[in-house]
Structure 1
Amino acid sequence: MKNTIRFGAIAAASALVLAACASAPEDEPTSSETAGGTATEAPVETVDYKACMVSDQGGFDDASFNESAYDGLVRASEELGIETAEAESTAESDYGPNLQAQVDEGCDLIITVGFLLGDATSEAAAANPDVNFAIVDFGYEEPIENVKPLFFETDEAAFLAGYAAASASGTGTLGTFGGVNIPTVSIFMDGFLAGANHFNEETGGDVSVLGWDGAEGSFVGNFEDAPAGQNITQGFLDQGADIVMPVAGPVGLGAASAIQSAGDAWMIGVDSDWTESAPEYADIMFTSVLKQISNAVYDTIEASIDGFTNEPYVGTLENEGVGIADFAEGTVDDETLAAIEEIRAGIIAGEIEPSTAG
């Protein structure tokens, strides 16, 4: 059984883009040029709607899922003309007060970021039935009328990364670890292991993965302790790992530091493309497993302006809600790239199970 709730027969539909502005008079500059010929932006029409966000304890500058979610909120403000507000959490004890602060702000939609806010979000939703909520990476066994879950089948993308890493490893040893042992973390690790296993099955390889065996693995216990991430990663490197995938938010910066210092290993980022979100480590990035949280947040806000629905959003390879970034130049050969495209199609078609449970 998978480490996250799967939804069958979900008809995911993209939200409609707002209508274009009316044409300018012929004797005046258009919205894309001024009288002097310089390109300008048409002003965004203001919409009477307020979207708000509460981070988990990693904060909005985690170079990971909180930051990606916040980028979606900022984009909505800029492109949809709505009002926004946010509250950054530094500890679990902040979740309830931060949610109440956003309710008091008069928010129409409050987006909470991460599995760890599951209980606090359901409590706030029950206490404020006239306020709508959305939560990244969490779902409820019994749907809540005013809460929309945003899910991402990241094992699908991590499977591709695991297969590619197994093909590129010079030592035959990979590593992965997590921040906290929760389903939205272990799903990455499980897909990564399954992808490496698939490489072994298809090619007769013997690549091993440190840090996750399909049921148990290595976890820091939080999303803040970068030195602990550095230590775990160094342990993997000492055991011969030459590609490591941390799934730990800011803790991954510690892993990146260890790998960069080693000088002979690669890192796989998660959530966002780390060549962009952590450019100081771009030289060691093999690829990144992408969770398009920013797009999901933006689309949810845009759709909710016209009418809120609690139908879950599920990001997959098929709808490009998850994916992988470009590989480092020269690390993956053409034969493997072709195999990865076939695997991608097989996952989308349901012919390949992207987890160890398959």
Structure 2
Amino acid sequence: MKISQADRLRNLALSIAAKSGGLNLSNVKGDQSSFAELSIGTVQSGERVLVVGAADGHIAFEAARQAGPTGSVTALENDVALLGQAQEQAGKFEGEQGYQNVRLVRTELSDFATDPGFVNEFLAERPVADLDAYLELQTKLEVQRRERPLLADDSFDVIILDAVINRLPLADGIKALNEAFRVLRRGGRLYVSALLADEAVTTDLPKLPNGLTVHHAPLETGILALLDGAGFYGMSMIWRAELPMNVVDGAELRTFVLEAYKGKQGVCLDQGHAVIYKGPWSQVSDDDDHVYVRGARTAVCAKTYDILMRAPYKGHFIGVPGYVSVPLEQAPLFDCNTPQLRDPQVTKGKRSVFDQPSPAASSCCPAPADTAAGGDCCDAGGCC
């Protein structure tokens, strides 16, 4: 059987790594170019883009070129040297369309609310030399983060996290994802470049090719759980490096690019919609555990219907709206008692969505009093 070049290199890497304890097969140029192509390539004219982990600024300025003069790019970085490289990179784009809309900010990679300008102004006026000054600073920061955050809620169309998950300890990485979710608009998309491990790494993690320390390398399955925990949906691994960047004690550390979306949160209302999964799988399930059987007319709420009609699900489903749609402000809650299959009589308007069992009879959702505000599908008793 013929062995591919990739398999030969992998076998060689594992062989050497087993003897030496580790091997660096870094191909950062190829990894970065793939990440840039996949993330920047989706940016549309006029979109607002956030780049976290600005590296040398290449991704930020290329994104600005895509967004054009009506769009904008904000780049966050906490490493002084990398931020300096990004500022030098700015000269290469000076005068180009969209360049003037790039904003470089030095701040923590896991905190998009604290305004470094506010902190600098406060410390210039009152250096923190005692406990009282420290407590005053903390109080003012709480007000600033709440009332005048550095980045406002729902303010970006696209967010690009470049190795942020690796550069931060796990707790801070989770915070960064939560912050990304906060500032991403509903319907917006997230792109993540991350060094992932195929097995648990029990020894010290290697540095990134640019010399930055790797604090955390999630397992390939672990990154998806982190994105799900932050509230994202539609997560996809859209690129995987052919070769590992590092092999440490037999564990391969390889660059992945992931895509995720925001927008599944909110109450579920029944307007009589249905979708038909085209295939080729016999059935699939989404991030809210809805099951779609190939060829079956599956009942969905209005929110889920809208989600399935756009990326990343667009093209996989046939939309079946009702002939006469109930106005959203009058639509009943989409309850767990709604039959999984939509009766064609409902689609054709011969049977009303109001004929479904009362939401109060449902046992699959918590009572409204026990439902956390802003939950996915059980807000006010409505399930999807």
TM-score normalized with structure 2 length: 0.33
Instruction: Please report the TM-score for the alignment, with normalisation by the length of structure 1.
Output: 0.35
Higher relative contact order (CA 8 A, sep 6+): 1
Decide which structure has greater strand share.
2
The structure having more radius of gyration, on CA atoms, is: 2
